[in-house]
Amino acid sequence: MTDRLIPQLKLSEFTARCLERLGLAPDDARLVGDTLVTSNLRGVDSHGVVRLPHYATRLRNGTINPKPSMRVQRTGPATAMVDGGAGMGQLVAVRAMKEAIELAREAGAGAVGAKNSSHCGACAYYAELAARAGMIGIALTHSDPIMVPTGMKRIFLGSNPIAFAAPGAAGPPVVVDLATTHVALGKVIVAKEEGRSIPPDWGVDASGKPTTDPAKVVGLAPMGGAKGYALALMIEVLCAHLTGVPFGTHVAKMYGELDKPRNLGHFMLAIDIARFTDPAGFRSQIDLLLREIRAEEPADAARPPLAPGEPERLSAEKRMREGIPLGAGVLADLDKLARELGVAPL
C-alpha cells in the first residue's frame, strides 16, 4: 500500500496536540513533538511518531510523568547530574545537554549524567544542540535488553546508541548517530507495523536463528560482532553504572513492563572547541572534510560517497519539500489515538 505524505507542520501540530491532551505543558509538548517529527524528517522513522501511541500508554498509566519536577545538581566545575522526575526522556535529555553546554562555556567541557528518565528517542537531536551552540556534542543512552551479545544465547544489553555532532562553517555539521545493534529495534517495529519483511542479519528468533519475519524477532545482533558488543557495554557503564540506575537485564522493559517506570540513564558531553583550537579554523576544516569526502571517486557510480549524517540531511530536505511518508499501519494507530484524545485526525 502506498504511504501517505503528511506535511511537516501538520504532523508537528498533531503530535503536540496529542501530547498536550496527555498532560504535557504546551512548550514541552512542542519540544517532544519536534524530536519525533525531526526523526521522521531525517528518515529515522523508527524513532518518529510511530512511538506516540506507546508514550500515550505510559503517560496514561503514570509510568511517565507528564509534568516532572526535574532537579539539576552541579557536582563539580564541569559535571552535573539531572534527576528527570520520571518525565519524558526527550525533556530530560534536552535539559541534560543544555546543562552540559553551559558547563562547557564555563569550564571548557561539560559532562552531565541523567537518571530517572525514560526513552529519549534519537540521540542525534541532543548532540546537534551542542553543534548549534558551536561545540562538539556527544549523547549516549541505554535501554532494556534487546541485543544478544557475542557468545550469548539471550538478550543481555540494549541497543545503546551513541551520537556525535561537530559544527561546520558554511556547510552542515558532521553528525554520527548509531545504535550498537546492527539496527535499532524501532526499525523492526516499523517493519512489523507496515507488514514488511526484514533482512536476515537484523534479528534472531526464539531459537537464536536469523529471521526475516519482524514479528518473530526476540533479539538483535550487535553491529560488527564483538566490537559492537564492547561499545554497547561501554555505553551501559556510562549511562547506568555512572548515574546509579538499573543496568542490563535489570532495566524495565519498554513494551513488556508497562506498569513500571523505566528509570533510564543518559550521558551528555559538550566540548568547547575554543579551548583546543581556533573555532573558525575548526569549522572551515569540517567543511573541507565534507567536501573531500564527496569528491572521492565512488566505488559505485550510482551511490556517491556521503559523510555520516548526510543521508539523513538529504532525507530531511526532501521530506520538508514533499511531506513525511507514513504507512497505513502507523496512520491507523495515530488515528485511533486521535479519536481517544479528541484530536482531529491526520
Confidence grade of residue 319 (pLDDT, cut at 50, 70, 90)? very high
pLDDT value of position 30: 99
* CA–CA dist 206, 164 (Å, integer): 34
Top CATH class, 1-61+312-346: mainly alpha
Mean of the pLDDT values across residues 31-44? 98
Q: Of residues 47, 119, 142, 182, which has the active-site annotation? A: 119
* Annotated domain spans of the chain: 1-61+312-346, 68-181+224-295, 184-221
**Per-residue pLDDT tens over the stretch 252-303:** 999 989 999 999 999 999 999 999 999 999 999 999 999 999 999 999 999 9
Q: Catalytic site residue 47?
A: no
Which residues, 6+ apart, have CB-to-CB distance to 98 below 8 Å?
A: 129
pLDDT value of position 59: 98
**Per-residue pLDDT tens over the stretch 91-138:** 999 999 999 999 999 999 999 999 999 999 999 999 999 999 999 999
The mean pLDDT of the chain is 96
**Per-residue pLDDT tens over the stretch 92-105:** 999 999 999 999 99
Report percent pLDDT > 70 for the chain: 100
The domain over range 68-181+224-295 is classified in CATH as 3.30.1370.60 = yes
pLDDT value of position 150: 83
Please say if the pLDDT value at position 185 is more than 70: yes
* CA–CA dist 343, 32 (Å, integer): 17
pLDDT value of position 201: 85
Mean of the pLDDT values across residues 173-181? 96
Please say if the pLDDT value at position 155 is more than 90: yes
Superfamily (CATH H level) for 184-221: Hypothetical oxidoreductase yiak; domain 3 (3.30.60.50)
Confidence grade of residue 152 (pLDDT, cut at 50, 70, 90)? confident
Confidence grade of residue 1 (pLDDT, cut at 50, 70, 90)? low
Whether 111 and 78 have beta carbons less than 8 Å apart is answered as yes
Please say if the pLDDT value at position 200 is more than 80: yes
Three cell numbers, residue 322 = 514533499
Mean of the pLDDT values across residues 232-247? 99
Query: Where are the extended beta strands (E) located within the chain?
Result: 4-6, 71-76, 79-83, 109-117, 135-141, 162-166, 174-178, 203-204, 210-211, 219-220, 264-272, 324-326
SS3 271: strand
Helices and strands: H and E segment counts in the chain: 10, 12
pLDDT value of position 78: 99
* CA–CA dist 182, 221 (Å, integer): 6
Mean of the pLDDT values across residues 171-190? 90
pLDDT value of position 193: 85
